[in-house]
Structure formats: structure tokens, C-alpha cells
């Protein structure tokens, strides 16, 4: 178990890993249970991965927990998910504190129920001074929403004369996204055997390495994360250059 981690090259650790945690519903179905049972069991996977990311020295871990599109699910599932979020924040905050984890959130948080928002803000505040892993929860998040919001702010500032259109470049644009100040993820993992991005970090994954696994999220553990990092470390990231140029 530990051996996978020991094989990792600490010089080549990604700074930022993003995960699309998918497959909770199918996991529940496999076990003959209601979908929420899968979501509940997904919490154990989150705990393990957060611990593993900390152990591997990852700086930022973004977890896609609830998308803009997920609001369209049956109300009973959405309500159960919101309740699970509140309970998880309550139950996990001590452990996150012990692990020196900082917490932040991206997405249209104004759309979250007040109870969730308050618990989340409380936990973010409690963990604010921690110096370890930065855990970023994507909640009511979609990339097209995030990009559209950024465009609105940029246009408004231009109209107010605070910004000249010539100043707009990709660095500046990135500063208007929810992920401002956080490096783009070097590695994106999606569980459950789906090969799509589902409106997640479209701008930020321009040069990200993708890792897809058939494992359903509730079965995913830190060893699987190490496996994904090991795979990432074997890749040659050329950023448009040739292989020869990289070794120069």
C-alpha cells in the first residue's frame, strides 16, 4: 500500500489535482440501495483522498462536489445531498483541523441553502490559518457560469474605465475566475468510467493531464490517488514543444 506512495517522485508532484467524483448512484445501485447511500459512502473516499493528498504534499485539491446542472436532479436527492454536506462539514472539521487542511469553495455559493452556506463559512474560517493542503470544494459550480461571471466583471470594469481592453490577456482573465491565485491543475481525475468534463474548470484545464478510472467514487482511496499521480509522472508534458526541446 505504502509502496505505491514511495515510488512517487517528490520532485514531480503536481501542485494542484482536481477530481470529478462520479459514480455514487451506480455504486448504490450495485449494492441494491438508494442513490443517497452512494453519496454517503462517497464521504469515506473524500476523507481518504484528502489524507493522501496531504501525505503526498499536494498543495491544492479541487473536488467537484455539486454542479450547476445537479440542481436539476429530483428534489429529494438534492435535499439529501445538501443535508449530507452539512453533516459532513460538521463531522469532518476536527479531522481537517488535525491534518492542517485549509478549506475554500468555488461556485455560485449564493445559490446554496443558508444552512449549508453558514456551516461552510464557519468551517472555512476555523481552518483559515492552516498551512497544509488547500481543499477546494466546487459547489453549485459550472465552468461556463464561472467564465460568464468573469466576462461580466471585466466588461463592467471596462465600462467604468478601470480597465483598458488592451490589458485583457489570459493571465488577467484568470484573475477574474473563482480560482484566481491558484495554479491550474496539472492532473484531473474522473472516476466511474465516464470520459467527459461535465462543465468543470474548462479554462483551467487547457494543459492538464487527464486520468480516467472505472472505479466508482465510493471505492476510490488514497492508493488510487497515488496510482494516478504515478501515471501522471510517466507522462511527457510538452506544452506544444518537441520532445527534443524539452531535454535541451
Active site positions, annotated: 22, 70
Which of 13, 16, 17, 25 is the binder for ligand IPE (CB under 6 A)?
25
Binding-site size for Mg ion (CB under 5 A) equals 1
Which of 67, 88, 178, 208 is the binder for ligand IPE (CB under 6 A)?
67
First to last CA, the chain: 36
| Min CB(64)–ligand IPE separation in Å | 4
Binding segment for ligand IPE among 148-156, 170-178, 192-200, 233-241 (CB under 6 A)? Answer: 192-200
Burial label for 211, CB within 10 Å (0-12, 13-18, 19+), is buried
- For the chain, list the strands marked E by DSSP: 16-20, 60-67, 102-106, 134-141, 187-190, 209-212
**142-152: b (≥16 Cβ within 10 Å) or e:** bbebbeeebee
Q: Which does 218 bind (CB under 5 to 8 A by kind): Mg ion, ligand IPE, none?
A: none
Binding-site size for ligand IPE (CB under 6 A) equals 19
> Smaller CB distance to Mg ion: residue 196 or 238?
196
Q: How far is CA 112 from CA 65, 68, 128, 130, 170, in A?
A: 12, 11, 21, 25, 30
Q: Which does 134 bind (CB under 5 to 8 A by kind): Mg ion, ligand IPE, none?
A: none
| Min CB(135)–Mg ion separation in Å | 21
Q: Which of 47, 197, 223, 225 is nearest to 135 (CA)?
A: 47
Q: Is 201 in the site for ligand IPE (CB under 6 A)?
A: no
Q: Is residue 190 helix, strand or coil? A: strand
Residue 138: beta bridge partners?
64, 106
Burial label for 192, CB within 10 Å (0-12, 13-18, 19+), is buried
Q: Which does 143 bind (CB under 5 to 8 A by kind): ligand IPE, Mg ion, none?
A: none
> Smaller CB distance to ligand IPE: residue 176 or 211?
211
Site string for ligand IPE, 81-120 (x = CB under 6 A): x---------------------------------------
Please list, in sequence order, all residues whose beta carbon lies within 8 angstroms of the beta carbon of residue 34, skipping any fewer than 6 positions away.
Answer: 28
Q: Which of residues 11-70 bind Mg ion (CB under 5 A)?
A: 22
Residues that bind ligand IPE (CB under 6 A): 20-26, 64-67, 69-70, 81, 192, 194, 196, 198, 217
Amino acid at each position: 500500500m505504502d509502496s505505491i506512495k514511495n515510488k512517487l517522485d517528490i520532485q514531480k508532484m503536481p501542485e494542484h489535482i482536481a477530481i470529478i467524483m462520479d459514480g455514487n448512484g451506480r455504486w448504490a445501485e450495485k449494492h441494491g440501495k438508494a442513490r443517497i447511500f452512494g453519496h454517503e459512502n462517497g464521504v469515506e473516499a473524500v476523507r481518504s483522498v484528502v489524507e493522501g493528498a496531504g501525505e503526498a504534499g499536494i498543495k491544492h485539491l479541487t473536488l467537484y462536489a455539486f454542479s450547476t446542472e445537479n440542481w436539476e436532479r429530483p428534489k429529494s436527492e438534492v435535499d439529501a445531498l445538501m443535508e449530507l454536506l452539512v453533516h459532513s462539514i460538521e463531522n469532518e472539521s476536527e479531522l481537517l483541523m488535525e491534518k492542517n487542511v485549509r478549506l475554500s469553495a468555488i461556485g455560485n455559493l449564493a445559490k446554496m441553502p443558508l444552512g449549508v452556506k453558514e456551516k461552510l463559512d464557519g468551517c472555512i474560517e476555523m481552518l483559515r490559518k492552516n498551512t497544509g493542503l488547500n481543499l477546494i470544494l466546487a459547489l453549485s459550480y459550472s465552468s461556463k457560469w464561472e467564465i460568464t461571471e468573469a466576462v461580466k466583471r471585466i466588461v463592467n470594469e471596462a465600462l467604468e474605465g478601470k480597465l483598458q481592453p488592451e490589458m485583457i490577456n489570459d493571465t488577467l482573465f484568470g484573475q477574474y475566475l473563482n480560482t484566481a491565485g491558484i495554479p491550474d491543475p496539472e492532473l484531473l481525475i474522473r472516476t466511474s468510467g465516464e470520459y467527459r468534463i461535465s462543465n468543470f474548470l474548462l479554462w483551467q484545464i487547457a494543459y492538464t493531464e487527464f486520468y480516467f478510472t472505472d472505479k466508482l467514487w465510493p471505492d476510490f482511496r488514497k492508493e488510487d490517488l497515488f496510482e494516478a499521480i504515478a501515471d501522471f509522472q510517466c507522462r511527457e508534458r510538452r506544452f506544444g514543444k518537441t520532445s527534443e526541446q524539452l531535454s535541451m
